[in-house]
């Protein structure tokens, strides 16, 4: 388990609970719009000491109720389960952010009741997935599909979200993704951040996310669709 960064308090990363965000190091995908490209390599230049991280969290218990574990990609870390067990012992609610690459890890965390909320990136309609993730081929797409199903069947509070990739995503892509969502699910369409990205982005072809969300709500009234 490599924690590369800590955001002491966030009011937006766990629904209705103040949380601390832990950023794990390493990701297997290469999304051009990644706004944490420093977290993609598997090695961190300045990893946090795990014991010190726990001490820090214990001292934050009066201020935060939850811990959001994000990436990079948390599920690539073999120590993730043990790490979360310690968080649960301390009484934290735990949210997992995942790109879906390890369905078995996600399933085990669910079975062991170690996560209270899961957020999964759905990068694109399945047939366009590689245009976004760039790495992993068919096997990666199959894994993400499986994780999507695992989360839908989990009974655990969850959300799916898609970050707009200018020049790659079309408005139709979001309708196609939403076809796979079920009654009551939360779906966020995330506006592109151009501040810091893995690769330069084409900002000439930006979707109007707010009008897209409005249109989609009419077509999918049974899904909670929002922009962020």
Smallest distance, Å, CB 198 to ligand SF4? Answer: 7
Give backbone dihedrals phi and psi of 127, rounded to 5 degrees, phi first.
-70, -15
Among 6, 10, 18, 36, binds ligand SF4 (CB under 6 A): 36
Pairing relation of β-strands 186-190 and 157-163?
parallel
Site residues for ligand SF4, window 180-219 (CB under 6 A)? none
Q: Which stretch binds ligand SF4 (CB under 6 A): 36-44, 76-84, 143-151, 172-180?
A: 36-44
Burial class (CB in 10 A: 0-12, 13-18, 19+), 153: exposed
- Nearest CA to 160 out of 133, 128, 187 is that of 187
Among 14, 23, 29, 188, binds ligand SF4 (CB under 6 A): 29
Q: How far apart are CA 44 and CA 65, in angstroms?
A: 27
Contact flag: residue 30 with ligand SF4 (CB under 6 A): yes
Q: Which stretch binds ligand SF4 (CB under 6 A): 29-37, 110-118, 189-197, 207-215?
A: 29-37
Range 197-216 burial, b when 16+ CB lie within 10 A, else e:
bbeebeeeeebebeebbeeb
Site residues for ligand SF4, window 50-89 (CB under 6 A)? 71-73
Smallest distance, Å, CB 79 to ligand SF4? Answer: 19
Among 34, 110, 178, 201, binds ligand SF4 (CB under 6 A): 34
Under a CB-based contact definition with an 8 Å cutoff, are residues 123 and 101 in contact? no
Contact flag: residue 150 with ligand SF4 (CB under 6 A): no
Q: Which is nearer to ligand SF4, 99 or 143 (CB)?
A: 99
Q: Which stretch binds ligand SF4 (CB under 6 A): 31-39, 76-84, 103-111, 180-188?
A: 31-39
Contact flag: residue 40 with ligand SF4 (CB under 6 A): yes
End-to-end, the C-alpha distance of the chain in Å comes to: 29
Q: How far apart are CA 116 and CA 29, in angstroms?
A: 25
Q: How many CB atoms lie within 10 A of CB 25?
A: 27
Among 3, 19, 27, 207, binds ligand SF4 (CB under 6 A): 27
Contact flag: residue 22 with ligand SF4 (CB under 6 A): no
Q: Which residues contact 110 (CB under 8 A, 6 or more apart)?
A: 118, 150, 154, 156
Task: List residues near ligand SF4 by CB under 6 A.
Answer: 27, 29-31, 34, 36, 39-40, 71-73, 99
């Amino acid at each position: 388990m490599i924690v590369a960064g800590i955001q002491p308090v966030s009011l937006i990363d766990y629904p209705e609970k103040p949380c601390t965000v832990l950023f794990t190091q390493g990701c297997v995908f290469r999304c051009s719009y990644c706004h944490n490209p420093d977290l993609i390599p598997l090695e961190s230049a300045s990893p946090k000491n795990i014991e010190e991280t726990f001490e820090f969290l214990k001292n934050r218990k009066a201020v935060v109720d939850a811990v959001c574990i994000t990436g990079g990609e948390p599920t690539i870390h073999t120590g993730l389960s043990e790490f979360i067990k310690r968080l649960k012992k301390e009484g934290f609610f735990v949210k997992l952010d995942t790109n879906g690459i390890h369905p078995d890890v996600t399933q085990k965390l669910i079975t062991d009741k170690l996560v209270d909320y899961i957020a999964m990136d759905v990068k694109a309609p399945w047939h366009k997935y590689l245009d976004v993730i760039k790495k992993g081929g068919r096997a990666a797409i199959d894994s993400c599909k499986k994780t999507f199903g695992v989360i839908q069947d989990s009974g655990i509070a969850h959300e799916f979200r898609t970050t707009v990739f200018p020049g790659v995503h079309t408005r139709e892509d979001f309708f196609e993704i939403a076809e796979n969502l079920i009654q009551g699910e939360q779906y966020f369409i995330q506006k592109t951040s151009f501040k810091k990205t893995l690769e330069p982005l084409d900002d000439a072809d930006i979707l109007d996310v707010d009008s897209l969300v409005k249109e989609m709500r009419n077509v999918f009234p049974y899904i909670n669709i929002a922009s962020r």
